[in-house]
Amino acid sequence: MNERCQRCQVLPRVTDEPKQLFCVFPLEVIKEKFKSFLKDHGCEFLDEGEFLGFEVENFKSFIVKLTGSNVFSSVELNDIHCVMLDKNTPLTVSAFKSLKPLNTWTSLVEAEEYLEMLSDGRLTAYFQPVVDVKQHKVVGFEVLARGVGKDGSIVPPGQLFDCARKTDTLFYLDRACREVAVKTAAIKKLNNYLIFIEILGSKTPHFNARIQSRFVN
């Protein structure tokens, strides 16, 4: 059985389980500001000099508080790097190989509505006619994907792909848009027309390797 692609078939999420966090800071002043934030929220920590360690009972709740506090700029959140471990997992030197910017998780919280849209499959497709001016007839359609809000409002592609970049879900969004385009074209019975679907080739896993292989062969 083929495993699901972690980049294009699995949406990232912020867990609500207890976690340990070990954070590394670019500047002492940012670390002191982070320590003040932890104190204000009743979170005990251990300052080991090179890193700051602490536990949270609900990781998602902690990230939501951090995001809503507006204490740190987006640049600072990108510069603070953390290792996240399960509550009883011992910290090892090798664990620091998995350091991630703190905004990896804050971006997911901020884009929760977008991620929910993808999870629910709330995407739609519009078909822009492609006309052969010599024959004066429609020969195909360019497919334009759009998001659909909970209230039925249309979410423009710029907003979708901005969220995708921030949450590292470009692969997933690209695949989802192509799927809805193909399915809608089939429903509309456009078999006799050319269908143009824009594909983010450079954002698709292994695309470059595959295309180079084809040229070589």
Per-residue pLDDT of 27-85, as tens digits, reads: 999 999 999 999 999 999 999 999 999 999 999 999 999 999 999 999 999 999 999 99
Domain coordinates in residue numbering, the chain? 19-110, 114-216
Res 209 pLDDT > 60: no
Per-residue pLDDT of 110-135, as tens digits, reads: 999 999 999 999 999 999 999 999 99
Q: pLDDT band for position 211 (50/70/90)?
A: very low
H or E stretch at 105: helix 103-110
Per-residue pLDDT of 12-31, as tens digits, reads: 999 999 999 999 999 999 99
Return all residues near 207 (Cβ < 8 A) that are at least 6 apart: 201
Q: How far apart are CA 111 and CA 103, in angstroms?
A: 12
CA distances, 31 to each of 39, 59, 71, 170 (Å)? 12, 19, 12, 32
For 212, counting Cβ atoms within 10 Å of its Cβ (0-12 exposed, 13-18 middle, 19+ buried), the class is: exposed
The token duo for 180 is 């809805």
Can you give the pLDDT at residue 5?
75
154-155 vs 123-132, strand pairing mode: unpaired
Average pLDDT of the residues in 196-212: 54
Radius of gyration of the chain measured on its C-alpha atoms? 22
* Tokens 């792909």 found at: 161
Return all residues near 90 (Cβ < 8 A) that are at least 6 apart: none
Res 213 pLDDT > 90: no
CA distances, 177 to each of 126, 167, 188 (Å)? 11, 17, 16
Q: How far apart are CA 206 and CA 50, in angstroms?
A: 37
Return the CATH number of 114-216, one of 3.20.20.450, 3.40.50.10490, 3.40.605.10, 3.40.50.2300: 3.20.20.450
**Mean predicted lDDT score pLDDT of the chain:** 89
SS3 37: helix
100-101 vs 137-148, strand pairing mode: unpaired
